[in-house]
Chain A
Amino acid sequence: MLDPITLEILKHAFLSAAEEQSAVLRRTAYSRNVRERTDFSTAICDSRGRLVAQALRAPMHLGGIAPCVQTILAEYGDDVSDGDVFLSNDPYSGGQHTPDVQVTYPIFHADRIIGFGCALAHHEDVGGRVPGSMSTQSKEVFEEGLRLHHVRLYHKGKLEDGVSRIITANVRYPEITMGDLRAEIASVKTGASRILELVDKYGKDAVVQATSDLMDISERRVRESFAVIPPGEYSYEDHLDSDGLTDEPCTVRVTVRVTESNLTVDLTGTSPQGKGAVNCSLTATHAAVYFSTRALCDPDIMQNDGAMRPVSVIAPEGTMVNPRFPAACSARSTIAHRIADCIFGAMAEAIPERVDTAAYGTSPCYGVFGEQASGRRWLYFDCNHGSSGARRRYDGNDGCTSKTSNPQNLPIEATEARLPIRFIRYGFVQDTGGPGRRRGGMALERAWQVVAPGGAQVEMRGDRQRFPPPGLLGGWPGRPSRTSIIHPDGLREEQSSSCTCQLEQDDVFSIAVAGAGGFGNPLEREPELVLVDVLGDKVSVEGALADYGVVIRGGQIDLEATSAVRSDRLSVATPSVV
């Protein structure tokens, strides 16, 4: 092992290389999705395709990058040359879903591979049945666009013209796709230069040694984090509103086995693969598991191959978490969120200070298509995010993306300036955060209307309407999600969480994502904190009494009445363990 100072310096250097890749990708990317929503990640892998360092962008991308590199090594063997650029997006061969296109670039030193620069970006369209390549109603991966099975866009530094032509002919916006690919290539080449500079400075042996030492250190630290968890088996299950195509609810079941310093996540018991696109490719399932188990550890540990070694995953083939080819799987994030919720749910009693409670589920995404009298067609695409779940020590964060994702919202004024959409409300809904000793984050409503003649059609994918985010350790669930159309005459029409519907001009479309789950018994919440929520109208006076047993009169806590109500209720309820 190298000395602890050189290792720390090289750790910074590896992270710096990954971050520079990230800076180059963001700076040179073409699409709004990559540049503004930062839906991409970058990483450095070693000569065996093991993760060395990554720049953190989207948690779900983590754990997805290395499997592609390993597949390339397995499939190409010695036939990898200096100047090759590989493209991968096949969910059945190391990818997560088709829009995530990974660029992999071997780093050569003295005619041998010493590592790989990698960049993964979510492309706005990769062809297929619908614009954007993602529809929950797709049945096969063939509907989800072009599959790039680790093909070379460059071979020995020379553009493979045929590959380039196939891509441009099969995607809807070839300039954008090629622009983003160029940015990814610029990014991985930057990473390669940095690694080669390090080799010049420290020598190849030291750099290689450092990568494996840093992996060993991360492995040891993750094992130490696991070692404090009481050994045993922890289970949890939760449900999805549907598989995207049928109306049948689905189940995600998780059993976490902890033995000394190993952790196995067994997903046996999860529903058979869905008929629609609500399926999670194996790589995406692994990514969700690695993210969640890593979050159970000290946040300070460097994320690399070593950090994943103590974790094994059992995902039975033919289920939603390991669908058989060629099932569609673009809506993998709906399940990934639920896998994370279930792992935290399972571990809550064992390590309550390291988990957070279920958030709002997947972010409802919708496309609104309209046509103006002039014949001009318009599209409004958006995703709504809600609030995060409560923790043992802290309330959920009101208005914050949930754990497995991290994008930004779209400004209202930017939307109104471009589209015939007028927003009616964007705000929290009273009495919706799961009550608990620590309150779950508030449900967030985004309501808008179409102000152009002709109305519009809405296609939407959501969740958490039938199964609200559950609470933990005595905490209550958040309020279920709610999607409705409110007609100008005031009539309210409720919709299911995934829906297709027609809006007339001035109809209001309201989406309130679910409130997040609470943590601990709400009767133990400090009355002062309930009062703050009441004064800020997040909780009503009635809600304070019904959910928390706190009596508020004239803007003040009635302590006597509160303790009377609470002791009354506690005598019939099971006390919380926290």
Chain B
Amino acid sequence: MTQRSVAVGIDTGGTFTDLAAIDGRTGRLAVTKVPSCPSDPASAPIAALEHLFRQEAAEAADICHIVHGTTIATNAILESSYPPVGMITTEGFRDVLEIARQARTGTGDDMMSCLYDMNYRKPAPIVPRRLRLEVPERVGPSGEVVIPLDVNAITEAALELAQRGARSFAICFLNSYANAAHEETARAAVAAALPGVHISTSARVLREYREYERFSTTALNAAATPILQAYLEALEQRLETAGVRGPLYVMQSVGGVLKASSIMDRGAYTVYSGLMGGVLGASQIARMSGYSSVVGMDMGGTSTDISLLEKGLPQITTDGMVGPHAIRFPMLDVIAIGAGGGSIGWIDSGGLLRVGPRSAGASPGPVCYGHGGTEPTVTDAHIVLGRLNPRHILGGAIQVNRGAALEAIENRLARTLGMGVSETAAGILRVVNATMLRGLRLMSVQRGKDPRDFALVAFGGAGPLHGSDLARELGTRTVVVPPHPGVLSAMGALFADVLWDSVETCMGPLDATILPRLTEVVDRLVKEGYPALTRQGVAPGEGRVNVSLDLRYMGQGYEVTVPVNGGALDEAALNEAKVLFHRRHQERYSHSSVDEPVELVNVRIAAVGTVPEKVRDPGSMARPEDPSARAVPVTEREAYFLPVGRALRCPVYQRDHLVPGITIKGPAIVEQLDSTAVINPGDTARADKWGNLVVSVGGSDSNA
């Protein structure tokens, strides 16, 4: 047991599967990147491990645990490639899922066009009407039975749905958050009629009021779970064959991890699994370098995901979406912008230069890759401007055809615009930055935050190419470029804790009258929490269960979550919660009314514990700074810098030559296998002992 000291993080995305491994004894970090394999998804993580073994960075027997971020459930939902789901629901309410909330939805530019676009199409529901059947039953808002459940009708409906092709089941009854007995009886009846089939019941998935959101989350869970289950079972088997003995943990959308066996019936818990690793990585990296409040900017090929962490805590929302579907699990609050390295530059009918949202993606890819792409992309602009290596990138894995990129920008854009090629290429970058800036601003303003108080963590393959320019526009003084910007998600997974959370609606005025009911709910949930942690391998005494309450002013429709001491719930504790609620309401919404009655809506618990063998002390990763170290450029080239509006001859550094303690001055380019960073004139970049490159924009620095 003691021999196993290597923790492995694996993040599978649509194009690449990334792996990061840290040896807890030596602090040695190893990373690999292999192509993902959509036709046999479990093979990519194994290939990444084999790559690690070949590097002789670790052996299978050394692995203490693997933490995995996966987009398998997300992709299944976005691509509608899940087994047909059958829904059994309360008589009279077959259409709740399809009606949804009725507003036309979209964000940013999409919002614009969806309102004016008479050809707008509402997204199809997860379960088509043909596969939604009603049964006689009804429970009232206090949990009272209004119409008893007809069990025979359940069996008939289940068999009928199976006959119509349903392979997974969602049972969604009105008010089941107040009394789940009918759903439980129905679950047993469906299980008896169709042994072995997956069944999600709405109160087990999400014991929270608001029927559409609960039904939608349950339907998503029923759709995603069989896919996730099959995948994780296959992966565990292959890991065993490969000789890995440590457990497999899976990253949840809310940030913590659970063992694969525990998350298998909660498929919808993993929809942001992949994203979360990067955010945790960004948080950890920045904290090590002394920044606790950061904006994370993960810029990939087709999109940029923006997140915000204050004092190390990611912003969490319970109002999330997967594609067009509502999902009410707590999850990372992220703004996705349709702008990335592959975004295509084009001229609209008004004559303006636009970039995205259409992307050349991995195939055909940018023009300069020579894989058939003909439309100029953001990557092509970087190549033309000398910001990206004009001969080859990804350590030589991709040969670059700069001439083709030049020609495409010249012929397709510059001529029509009546501008030079460099000017046009710089224009592509300035426009894509303007798009991202909108998202960055919105993320901070929506939360009432000033972006100048945050450090920007620029990651993803393309992030460090844009980070310094965006920071300048935002007024942010510091950019942190992690050691391996392209595999940060895999690395972030290594820093995650075990998190098991649960919610139950318990509505009523927050005063002494609710205490008996509230105490019963809290005691029950807390009692479930500790064994749950033990099942995750958390040693007794190493975990804790946090209780919080969703509160609101009586009659309002939105809640604010405040922590309470779950051990001693009495009137005094409720009063403290009330005081805290007023304060948080003031912080978040700029007003509060201490005289207004406060109402309890939900009880939430979060059982948190440390993954055994977790790399507890990232200090082992530190390398001493060497004040005498000097940076030696590998070469020089002409590169275009946006703040000065022209090309400058500048040094090009190899990232792994920048040992801790080295400071370089812009203008400069820093190249590495998975990314390239641009350091503007007037900026300085220091490699710190954690391997981060900390860029001080305009020469100054502010420790946030």
Contact = CB atoms under 8 A, between A and B. Distances in A.
A247 B101 CA distance: 33
Interface string B70-101: 00000000000000000000001111101111
A5 B174 contact: no
B140 A416 contact: yes
A96 interface: no
Nearest to A363: B102
A412 B209 CA distance: 9
Interface residues of A, number: 86
B180 to A, nearest CB: 14
A4 interface: yes
A56 B423 CA distance: 33
B96 to A, nearest CB: 6
B102 A217 contact: no
Contact of B101 (A186, A408, A412): A408
Contacts of B93: 412, 423, 425-427
B417 A4 contact: yes
Interface string B524-544: 000000000000000000000
Interface string A289-319: 0010011011111110000000000000000
A492 interface: no
Given A27-B588, A391-B118, A427-B92, A299 B112 contact: yes
A12 B437 contact: yes
B99 A12 contact: no
Interface stretch (B427-435, B609-617, B658-666): B427-435
B442 A23 contact: yes
B683 interface: no
Interface in B645-666: none
A24 B118 CA distance: 29
A188 B120 CA distance: 31
A397 B434 contact: no
Contacts of B213: 411
A482 to B, nearest CB: 17
B700 interface: no
B312 interface: no
Interface stretch (B190-198, B281-289, B343-351): B343-351
Interface in B335-366: 347-354
A399 B103 contact: no
B210 A12 contact: no
Contacts of A221: 349-350
B591 interface: yes
A406 B104 contact: yes
B92 A224 contact: no
B210 A399 contact: no
B618 interface: no
A322 interface: no
A403 B507 CA distance: 36
B476 to A, nearest CB: 14
A354 B119 CA distance: 7
Contacts of A400: 102, 104, 122
Contacts of A509: none
Contact of B95 (A24, A424, A428, A447): A428
A56 B438 contact: no
Interface in B423-474: 423-424, 426-427, 430-431, 434-435, 437-438, 441-442, 445-446, 448
A140 interface: no
Interface in A151-203: 175, 179, 182-183, 186, 190
Nearest to A534: B130
A9 B448 contact: no
A28 B557 contact: no
B586 to A, nearest CB: 11
A3 interface: yes
Interface in A67-121: none
B558 A7 contact: no
A398 B98 contact: yes
A552 to B, nearest CB: 13
B351 to A, nearest CB: 5
Contacts of B445: 20, 23-24, 190
Interface string A389-423: 00101100111110100111101111011100011
**Which of A4, A13, A23, A425: most chain B CB closer than 10 A?**
A4
B341 to A, nearest CB: 19
Contacts of A393: 119
Given A175-B593, A416-B175, A8 B113 contact: no
A4 B352 contact: yes
Interface string B552-592: 00011110000000000000000000000000000011110
B121 interface: yes
Given A56-B111, A426-B93, A537 B212 contact: no
Interface string A377-398: 0000000010000010110011
B115 interface: yes
A35 B100 contact: no
A7 to B, nearest CB: 6
B550 interface: no
A11 interface: yes
Contacts, number: 207
A299 B427 contact: no
A36 interface: yes
Nearest to A398: B98
Interface string B125-144: 00011100000000011000
Contacts of A476: none
Given A8-B354, A28-B590, A179-B591, A413 B100 contact: no
Contacts of A9: 430-431, 434
Interface in A41-87: 56, 59
Given A398-B122, A413-B177, A32 B95 contact: no
B102 A8 contact: no
A507 B438 CA distance: 52
Nearest to A294: B116
Contact of B431 (A5, A30, A356): A5
B557 A295 contact: no
B352 A401 contact: no
A196 B51 CA distance: 54
B102 A401 contact: yes
B421 to A, nearest CB: 13
Given A27-B590, A300-B113, A536 B128 contact: yes
Contact of A16 (B129, B141, B438, B591): B438
Nearest to A409: B102
Contact of B113 (A35, A299, A391, A532): A299
Contact of B212 (A355, A411, A416): A411
Interface in B113-169: 113, 115-122, 128-130, 140-141, 146
Given A56-B115, A427-B94, A217 B352 contact: yes
A416 B141 contact: yes
A483 B353 CA distance: 53
A415 B507 CA distance: 13
A428 B99 CA distance: 9
Interface in B602-657: none
Contact of B130 (A20, A224, A394, A536): A536
Interface of A: 3-5, 7-9, 11-13, 15-16, 19-20, 23-24, 27-30, 32, 35-36, 38, 56, 59, 175, 179, 182-183, 186, 190, 217-218, 220-221, 224, 291, 294-295, 297-303, 344, 353-356, 385, 391, 393-394, 397-401, 403, 406-409, 411-414, 416-418, 422-428, 444, 447, 532, 535-538
Interface of B: 92-96, 98-104, 108, 111-113, 115-122, 128-130, 140-141, 146, 174-175, 177, 209-213, 347-354, 417, 419, 423-424, 426-427, 430-431, 434-435, 437-438, 441-442, 445-446, 448, 507, 555-558, 588-591, 593
5 contacts: A8-B353, A12-B434, A56-B111, A407-B103, A413-B209
Q: What are the 4 A-B residue pairs with the smallest beta carbon separation, nearest first?
A: A536-B129, A5-B427, A399-B99, A427-B95
Given A400-B102, A423-B93, 7 more contacts: A4-B417, A5-B423, A19-B438, A20-B445, A30-B591, A59-B115, A406-B104
